[in-house]
């Protein structure tokens, strides 16, 4: 059953008050339109400026004509108003709801009374019945809201604002909504680790897959699967779709930035939006990758512009620069992926509150070349192991631990290079590092942005490539990510990708992935390594445009922007920002190469013809 992408409401809501966001959603609801709800920027993070920029960029993609700031802290409200264009945003309080409802044609609408739990169900029910909603201190009904389109949204409790976003998402798709209990943090980690280790020596892979499938279905509980329908799972981390092979499915994460990910997916599928016209293929030749050869043949036949990084060309430096800065729409990886080996470092220090602390961290690194032959660029992936002898990944023990300023003090001391480890040891695996093997070293994907501030689709055909990288790439603004839960053979990888790029090209990506796995692994089978993340109605598709001309224009714009930033930074201290210089140099190199490859021959032909 086809699920069409909804239109977008011209009004968006930025809120940290889930109840007020739910009330506004009901007041603004219109059938087949998506009301965007974003959480406020997390200003306590070190990257607080980026938190604001991510939200303003999402609102710009949405092309919202008006933005309601509802239930934000004074500081969050102030920084959002400063960054948004004047006249586009204003603070909204609860007493203004009747005015907003009247302006939306709901002056005389009835009001649904609902409790303060399972609030997504109440909001969706009110939307479908044309009512407003009020939240009271009473028990909420537990019955799910039935689907009207064949699509069902399954949302995990625990993040109230995510339930509101799930309700808006479901309403825009005429979908149903089922709320499941919040999963246990420790069990989540254990289940993900079980998928990661499914191919380890001594593990009965088939039996383990069946066990995991049964446990995930137990966590979801009894749900009414729409006949011939489809599913979106909005949960913290778990790949529930792998446990429901009888229906096509996709996943979204309740945290962080659920609202932004939904915006990225829906805006890309609006009428008149350009398609996935530019593809990048990455093959460092560390594994057999026949799917890259197939993609290199199939995609140009579709009218797509294809760039390849192969062998020595797929170095850590080249891929790091490309992932962040080149304007692509589709990125396909084919390499080995897995947690890297590394080191365990122990730090002893006194925090700013006067407490003596011992922090143990696990560290993996990715290494890239630079233009300076004597200098390497090193990216550290750091995972906290323990603080004062308490396992950092034990939520029960950590809840009893006084953290205070310890973590922030450690970060500041390390940044100032005034703190050295008192002990170092090698370890075989840094959990969560998710390193992808390039030609020269491990690439640890921690992108600042993707595709020159774009929102691409990522297909990562590496083994065990879903666990950590789905969250990282979506946080960096990918609109969809396809990865694997465990190892796949080169034959499987080729068969899946070829079907996605050939027979199922132009179909909704979750449906295409489901259908491809049915062919390769058998319908309803427990071996379903591929998992899709992103909104359901999005596709691989091509639209007409002057692709080389557009790419060159984007490259020139990037060169100009980053050269200006580099020049401004030099004005402060005479030395400038090396990162800005490096990015400007990348764009200068790309502009020269692109002009020579695509435009110099044309200019030569034109000149010859004129003569």
What is the distance between the alpha carbons of residues 216 and 125, in angstroms, rounded to a whole number? 27
**pLDDT attached to residue 166:** 98
pLDDT band at 578 (very low <50, low <70, confident <90, very high): confident
* Mean pLDDT, the chain, whole residue set: 94
Q: How many CA atoms lie within 13 A of 520 on its CB side?
A: 23
Question: Which residues make Cβ contacts (< 8 Å) with residue 200, sequence separation at least 6?
Answer: none
User: Residue 529: what are its φ and ψ, rounded to 5°?
Assistant: -70, -25
pLDDT band at 610 (very low <50, low <70, confident <90, very high): very low
Rg (CA), the chain: 25
At 431-478, the pLDDT tens digits run 999 999 999 999 999 998 999 999 999 999 999 999 899 999 999 999
What is the distance between the alpha carbons of residues 558 and 573, in angstroms, rounded to a whole number? 24
pTM: 0.95
Residue 212 has pLDDT above 90, yes or no: yes
At 106-124, the pLDDT tens digits run 999 999 999 999 999 999 9
Q: Facing residues of 235 across strands?
A: 253
At 131-145, the pLDDT tens digits run 999 999 999 999 999
> Is 469 in a helix, a strand, or coil?
helix
**pLDDT attached to residue 298:** 96
319-351 b/e (C-beta count within 10 Å ≥ 16 → b): bbbbbbbbbbbbbbbbbbbbbbebebbebebeb
What is the distance between the alpha carbons of residues 82 and 115, in angstroms, rounded to a whole number? 36
**pLDDT attached to residue 573:** 61
Question: Which residues make Cβ contacts (< 8 Å) with residue 363, sequence separation at least 6?
Answer: 342, 343, 344, 345, 380, 381, 382, 383, 430
Give the position of tokens 């449906």.
511
Checking phi first, is residue 524 left (phi over 0); if not, alpha (psi -120 to 50) or beta? left
Checking phi first, is residue 452 left (phi over 0); if not, alpha (psi -120 to 50) or beta? left
154-166 average pLDDT score:
97
What is the distance between the alpha carbons of residues 279 and 269, in angstroms, rounded to a whole number? 17
At 70-88, the pLDDT tens digits run 999 999 999 999 999 999 9
**pLDDT attached to residue 574:** 59
Q: Which helix (H) or strand (E) holds 471?
A: helix 469-475
Give the position of tokens 């080249």.
318
pLDDT band at 322 (very low <50, low <70, confident <90, very high): very high
540-554 average pLDDT score:
96
**Two tokens, residue 107:** 């002056």
Output the 3-class SS for 315-351. CHHHHHHHHHHCCCCEEEECCCEECCCEEEEEEEEEC
Output the 3-class SS for 160-224. HHHHHHHHHHHHHCCCEEEEECCCCHHHHHHHHHHHHCCCCCCCCHHHHHHHHHHHHHHHHCCCC
What is the distance between the alpha carbons of residues 453 and 459, in angstroms, rounded to a whole number? 18
Higher-scoring residue by pLDDT: 41, 226: 41
> Which region among 316-320, 481-485, 603-607 has the lowest average model confidence (pLDDT)?
603-607
């Amino acid at each position: 059953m086809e699920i069409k992408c909804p239109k977008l409401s011209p009004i968006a809501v930025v809120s940290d008050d889930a109840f007020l966001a739910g009330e506004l959603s009901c007041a603004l609801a219109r059938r087949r339109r998506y009301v965007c709800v974003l959480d406020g920027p997390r200003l306590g993070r070190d990257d607080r400026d980026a938190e604001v920029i991510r939200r303003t960029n999402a609102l710009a993609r949405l092309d919202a004509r008006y933005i309601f700031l509802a239930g934000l802290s004074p500081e969050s409200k102030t920084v959002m108003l400063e960054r948004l264009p004047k006249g586009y945003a204003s603070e909204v309080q609860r007493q203004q709801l009747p005015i907003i409802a009247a302006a939306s044609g709901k002056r005389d609408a009835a009001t649904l009374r609902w409790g303060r739990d399972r609030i997504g169900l109440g909001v969706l029910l009110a939307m479908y019945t044309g009512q407003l909603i009020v939240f009271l201190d009473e028990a909420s009904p537990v019955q799910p809201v039935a689907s009207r389109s064949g699509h069902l949204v399954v949302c995990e409790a625990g993040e109230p604002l995510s339930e509101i976003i799930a309700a808006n998402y479901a309403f825009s798709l005429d979908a149903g909504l089922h709320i499941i209990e919040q999963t246990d943090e420790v069990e989540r980690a254990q289940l993900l680790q079980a998928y990661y280790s499914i191919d380890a020596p001594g593990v009965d892979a088939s039996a383990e897959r069946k066990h995991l499938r049964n446990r995930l279905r137990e966590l979801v509980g009894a749900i009414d699967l729409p006949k011939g329908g489809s599913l979106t799972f909005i949960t913290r981390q778990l790949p529930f779709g792998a446990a429901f092979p009888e229906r096509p499915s996709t996943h979204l994460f309740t945290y962080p930035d659920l609202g932004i990910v939904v915006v990225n997916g829906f805006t890309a599928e609006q009428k008149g939006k350009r398609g996935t016209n530019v593809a990048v293929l990455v093959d460092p030749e560390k594994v057999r990758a026949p799917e890259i050869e197939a993609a290199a043949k199939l995609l140009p036949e579709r009218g797509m512009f294809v760039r390849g990084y192969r062998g020595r060309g797929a170095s850590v430096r080249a891929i790091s620069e490309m992932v962040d800065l080149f304007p692509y729409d589709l990125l396909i990886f084919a390499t080995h992926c897995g947690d890297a080996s590394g080191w365990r470092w122990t730090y002893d220090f006194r925090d700013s509150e006067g407490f003596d602390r011992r922090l143990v961290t696990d560290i993996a690194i990715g290494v890239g070349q630079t233009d300076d032959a004597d200098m390497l660029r090193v990216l550290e992936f750091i995972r906290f192991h323990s603080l004062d002898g308490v396992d950092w990944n034990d939520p029960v023990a950590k809840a009893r631990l006084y953290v205070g300023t310890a973590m922030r003090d450690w970060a500041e001391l390390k940044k100032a290079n005034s703190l050295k480890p008192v002990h170092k040891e090698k370890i075989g695996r840094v959990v969560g590092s998710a390193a992808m093997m390039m030609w020269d070293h491990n690439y640890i994907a921690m992108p600042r942005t993707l595709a020159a501030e774009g929102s691409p689709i990522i297909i990562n055909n590496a083994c065990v490539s879903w666990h950590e990288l789905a969250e990282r790439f979506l946080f960096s603004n990918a609109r969809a990510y396809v990865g694997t839960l465990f190892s796949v053979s080169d034959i499987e990888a080729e068969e899946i990708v070829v079907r996605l790029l050939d027979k199922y090209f132009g179909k909704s990506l979750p449906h295409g992935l489901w259908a491809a796995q049915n062919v390769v692994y058998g319908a309803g089978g427990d071996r379903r390594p591929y998992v899709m993340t992103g909104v359901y109605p999005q596709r691989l598709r091509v639209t007409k445009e002057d692709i080389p001309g557009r790419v060159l224009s984007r490259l020139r714009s990037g060169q100009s922007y980053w050269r200006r930033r580099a020049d401004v930074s030099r004005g402060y201290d005479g030395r400038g920002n090396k990162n800005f210089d490096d990015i400007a140099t990348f764009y200068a190199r790309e502009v020269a190469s692109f002009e020579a490859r695509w435009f110099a021959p044309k200019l030569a032909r034109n000149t010859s013809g004129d003569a």
